[in-house]
Amino acid sequence: QKEVEQNSGPLSVPEGAIASLNCTYSDRGSQSFFWYRQYSGKSPELIMSIYSNGDKEDGRFTAQLNKASQYVSLLIRDSQPSDSATYLCAVPPAGTALIFGKGTTLSVSS
Amino acid sequence: DAGVIQSPRHEVTEMGQEVTLRCKPISGHDYLFWYRQTMMRGLELLIYFNNNVPIDDSGMPEDRFSAKMPNASFSTLKIQPSEPRDSAVYFCASSSGMNTEAFFGQGTRLTVV
């Protein structure tokens, strides 16, 4: 069974710090990787996608992918209270739809 | 585009009743997905369609659940009869390709009492 694993948290960081979120996946055939943010009572919202090994930066967000280790991470620099949410890692196993991890809850304190 | 549109936003029904959830995907998207989210199990894929054809329904929990996509702009998820354990948030999402990002609707919060 294809799986996507995340630490459930909560992950607590002070305002201005770096938050590091991690995800592992089981299907070596996966070719694309996504991070979604979900505020309480809202729907998941795409914030980052990554397709190649290495880092991809977008503003305060950096996604890191290591296919050999089947590991993808999300770094949030200069964390803000508005970043407090649940972050979902999503990976499509080869030939099928997005499978989501259970999410990591991030709390940023001011 | 208005994004993925789901209705109703909230549904409260009695056990044993039929429930129908509706979804309009983003125009031009060939893939449509139905997910269910609970605290215990997270976001689970129920079924997905490609060009209106059901491709994988292995996530549908029981025969009480059924889904249709009669055309490119409309899909339904039906539960008959509903049970309290079906209470969850049901999301519809669409995408332009299998390995591309999916865009979610606002969800339907279903409560079965």
State pLDDT tens for residues A64-87.
999 999 999 999 999 999 999 999
**At B10, is the pLDDT very low, low, confident or very high (cuts 50, 70, 90)?**
very high
Contact A44 B91 (CB under 8 A): yes
Is a pLDDT exceeding 80 seen at residue A1? Answer: no
Distance from CA of A44 to the nearest CA of B (A): 6
Task: Label residue B1 by pLDDT band (50, 70, 90).
Answer: low
Cα A53 from Cα B31, distance rounded (Å)? 26
Alpha-carbon distance B8 to nearest alpha carbon in chain A (angstroms) = 14
B36-42 average pLDDT score: 95
The β-bridge relationship of strands B10-13 and B108-112 is parallel
pLDDT on residue B63: 93
Residues 6+ away with beta carbon under 8 Å from B95: B29, B30, B31, B33, B101, B102, B103
| Cα B107 to Cα A99: distance, rounded to the nearest angstrom | 17
Instruction: Select from B33, B103, B105 the Cβ nearest to the Cβ of A97.
Output: B33
Residues B3-15 have a mean pLDDT of 98
Cα B23 from Cα B104, distance rounded (Å)? 10
Contacts of B103 in chain A (CB under 8 A): 46
> Is beta strand A11-14 parallel, antiparallel or unpaired with respect to A104-109?
parallel
Closest residue in chain A to residue B39, using alpha carbons only: A102
Which of A95-99, B4-8, B11-15, B19-23 shows the lowest per-residue confidence on average (mean pLDDT)? A95-99
